[in-house]
């Protein structure tokens, strides 16, 4: 692990976080720090627990053991009212978008503004339409129902919702999956902009190395429920770590073995 | 030994389920009385339960009142007690059949819909998304449904009572040739406020139970479409059984001393 500056409290700090489902150990002692205003990209194979890690930080899943601190405050044992307050700081794009299908698109995007910040609906709608514009969606999409959108459009609405109330910390779970390469780059730019302009702290999960290179200050690789490597984005091609090398270059042979039986 | 262990395990599972339901109910109830409430959500649920259930509840009540008059006529005429038909109809409807049948119909309609909607929201992570948008899912999803169930089912039962008695009246007057005025007189003659009130208390409790079961099973559903399907079934079955059991208990409470 590269040492992060200890003079300031990290925005998010995980120590020895474990989580299992039934007999299956998913997180196996995660240690990770994210500095304020930093953009961290988490890479790692499918099913290695990246989404579970994000959900544990948010408290949507309760870790079995370990410590999760946000702004230096322990969050694993918060009561629901305190948790609600903490979550004001967060925005999250879910891997499956998780849009509210009983509400039109604009109300999805404006949800945090209306319910969380008690903004008048008309004002919230204007902001929602502006955010939709930022993810490349036209105002006529605003009145549609989420089920009328394509997968990539839903993803972008989810993104607009995650950034709508300008949270301090934003989690993006595979923001560019299912988008065409041009739109993917637009989204990359948007994420960079959120971090630079709003001073937000971002954690992004992605399998898209082009996207990782573009948005990451730092990269962390997760393997078998542990963070096995973290480093600067520019060091990613000469990490000196065989696992990272194999992943970054997308090779089938290497230390990471896929459990596949030949036909 | 194996038998003991199995019994013990089943008992523990039962305790766990009961505890979980109790916690869920307590939390949901506390959110019903703590602001902020969500008036839009409450309105939506009230319309869904109160307005859109009217046809099915009305039809059920109408035919129940009609068949009740017909049945009691064929029974009571054996001992020359035809005069009691109007009374039998109004008492049966207000005290028992109105709330129970309306409750069962609403359980099928609304309990299932609630479990399916909330269950789908669970498996598609919409409930998680609510939390990350600083909205408490118990407050946003469960409390409005409980409030709507608790208030709307009694209103439905008022309607069911009226339509049911009217159904009995139709059969009594047009098929069994009673005098209309005397049938109406007979309807009022022995009816006491407590008959109607006990029925409405039942209705409120049934409405609450239906919404509670719909929300609880939906909220805890897992595993995709199949899980949502199971949650829907469980919501309807458990609400129906609870309605029948609580119906007996409440009747005992109201009328045991008489
Ligand atoms: N709610 C749950 N119940 C049971 N098992 C779960 C649950 N959520 C995740 N898992 C298991 O945890 C493991 C990690 O899941 P996770 O969603 O974190 O993977 P991931 O790293 O995000 O993968 P991907 O890149 O494919 O999204 C998986 O094997 C999955 O089966
Ligand atoms: Mg994932």
**Pick from A92, A56, A116: which is nearest to A200 by CA?**
A92
Query: Is the pLDDT score of A125 beyond 90?
Result: yes
- Ligand of minimum distance to the alpha carbon of B223: 1
pLDDT tens digits, B4-55: 888 888 888 888 888 989 998 898 888 888 888 889 999 999 999 999 999 9
Side-chain half-sphere CA neighbours of B109 within 13 A: 20
pTM (predicted TM-score): 0.89
Full set of structural domains in chain A with CATH: 12-249 (3.40.50.300)
What tens digit of pLDDT does each residue of B213-223 get?
A: 999 999 999 88
Q: Which of B126, B132, B136 minimises the CB distance to A100?
A: B126
Substitution target in B122, B134, B218 with the highest count of A β-carbons within 10 Å is B134
Average pLDDT for chain A: 89
State the residue for tokens 């039998």.
Answer: B88
Interatomic CA distance for residues B19 and A46, integer angstroms: 36
With an 8 Å Cβ cutoff, the interface of chain B facing chain A consists of 117, 120-121, 124-126, 128-136, 140
Angstrom distance (rounded) from CA B167 to CA B69 = 8
Task: For B27, name the nearest residue in chain A, comparing CA atoms only.
Answer: A80
Q: Which of B117, B126, B136 sits opposite A98 (nearest CB)?
A: B126
The 10s digit of each residue's pLDDT in A127-159 is 999 999 988 899 999 999 999 998 888 989 999
pLDDT of residue A187: 86
pLDDT digits (tens, 9 = 90+) for A178-193: 888 888 888 898 888 8
Nearest to B136 among A58, A80, A111 (CB): A80
Kindly give, in sequence order, each residue whose CB lies less than 8 Å from that of residue A97, ignoring residues fewer than 6 positions away: A146, A151, A154, A155, A157, A158
Confidence band (pLDDT; 50, 70, 90) for A7? low
- Residues A231, A236, A240: CA angle, nearest 5 degrees: 85
Ligand minimally distant from the alpha carbon of residue A49: 1
Largest Cα separation within chain A, whole Å, is: 59
* CA–CA min distance A61, chain B (Å): 10
Mean pLDDT throughout B61-67?
A: 95
| φ, ψ for residue B222, nearest 5 deg | -145, 160
Measured in angstroms, how far is the CA atom of residue B253 from the centroid of ligand 2? Answer: 54
Please give the pLDDT value at position A2. Answer: 47
Residue identified by tokens 């109300």 is A107
Mutate to test the interface with A, among B43, B123, B132, B223 (most CBs of A within 10 A): B132
Q: What does the pLDDT read at residue B209?
A: 95
A58/B131 Cβ within 8 A: yes
Residue B4's pLDDT is 86
Provide the ipTM. 0.88
* pLDDT of A1 above 70: no
Task: Give the distance from residue B48's alpha carbon to the nearest chain A alpha carbon, in angstroms.
Answer: 14
**At A8, is the pLDDT very low, low, confident or very high (cuts 50, 70, 90)?**
confident
Using a CB-CB distance cutoff of 8 angstroms, which residues of chain B are in contact with residue A58?
Answer: 128, 131-132
- Our measurement of the distance from residue B36's CA atom to the centroid of its chain's CA atoms, rounded to an integer in Å, reads 27
| Rounded distance between C-alpha atoms, residue B42 and residue B145, angstroms | 7
């Amino acid at each position: 692990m590269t040492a992060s500056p200890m003079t300031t409290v990290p925005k998010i700090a995980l120590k020895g976080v474990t989580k299992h489902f039934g007999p299956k150990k998913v997180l196996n002692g995660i240690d990770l720090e994210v500095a304020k205003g930093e953009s961290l990209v988490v890479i790692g194979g499918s099913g290695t627990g990246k989404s579970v890690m994000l959900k544990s930080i948010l408290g949507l899943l309760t870790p079995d053991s370990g410590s999760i601190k946000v702004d230096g405050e322990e969050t694993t044992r918060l009561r629901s009212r305190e948790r609600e307050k903490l979550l004001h700081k967060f925005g999250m794009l879910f891997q499956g978008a998780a849009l509210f299908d009983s509400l039109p698109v604009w109300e999805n995007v404006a949800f945090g503004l209306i319910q969380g910040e008690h903004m008048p609906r008309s004002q919230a709608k204007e902001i929602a339409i502006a955010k939709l514009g930022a993810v490349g969606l036209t105002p006529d999409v605003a009145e549609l129902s989420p089920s009328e959108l394509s997968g990539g459009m839903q993803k972008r609405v989810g993104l607009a919702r995650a950034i709508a109330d300008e949270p301090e910390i934003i989690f993006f779970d595979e923001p560019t999956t299912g988008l065409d390469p041009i739109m993917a780059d637009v989204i990359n730019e948007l994420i960079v902009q959120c971090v630079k302009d709003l001073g937000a702290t971002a954690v992004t999960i992605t399998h898209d190395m082009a996207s990782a290179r573009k948005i990451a200050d730092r990269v962390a690789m997760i393997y078998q429920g542990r963070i096995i490597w973290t480093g600067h984005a520019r060091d990613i091609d000469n990490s000196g770590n065989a696992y990272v090398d194999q992943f970054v270059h997308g090779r089938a042979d290497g230390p990471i073995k896929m459990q596949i039986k030949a036909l | 030994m194996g038998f003991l262990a199995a019994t013990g395990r089943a008992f523990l599972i039962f305790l766990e389920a009961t505890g979980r339901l109790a916690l869920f109910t307590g939390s949901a109830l506390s959110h019903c009385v703590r602001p902020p409430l969500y008036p839009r959500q409450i309105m939506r649920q009230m319309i869904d339960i109160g307005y859109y259930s009217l046809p099915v509840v009305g039809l059920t009540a109408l035919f129940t009142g009609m068949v009740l008059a017909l049945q009691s006529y064929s029974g009571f005429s054996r001992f020359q007690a035809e005069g009691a038909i109007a009374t039998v109809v109004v008492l049966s409807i207000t005290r028992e059949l109105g709330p129970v049948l309306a409750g069962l119909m609403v359980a099928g309609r609304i309990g299932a819909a609630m479990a399916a909607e909330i269950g789908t929201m669970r498996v598609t992570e919409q409930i998680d998304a609510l939390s990350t948008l600083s909205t408490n899912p118990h407050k946003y999803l469960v409390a409005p449904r409980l409030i709507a169930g608790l208030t709307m089912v009694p209103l439905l039962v008022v309607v069911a009572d009226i339509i049911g008695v009217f159904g009995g009246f139709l059969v009594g007057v047009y098929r069994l040739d009673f005098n209309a005025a005397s049938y109406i007189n007979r309807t009022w003659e022995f009816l006491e406020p407590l008959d109607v009130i006990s029925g409405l208390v039942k209705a409120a409790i049934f409405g609450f139970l239906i919404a509670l079961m719909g929300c609880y099973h939906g909220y805890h559903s897992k595993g995709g479409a199949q899980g949502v399907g199971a949650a829907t079934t469980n919501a309807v079955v458990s609400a129906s059984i609870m309605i029948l059991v609580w119906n007996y208990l409440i009747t005992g409470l109201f009328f045991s001393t008489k």
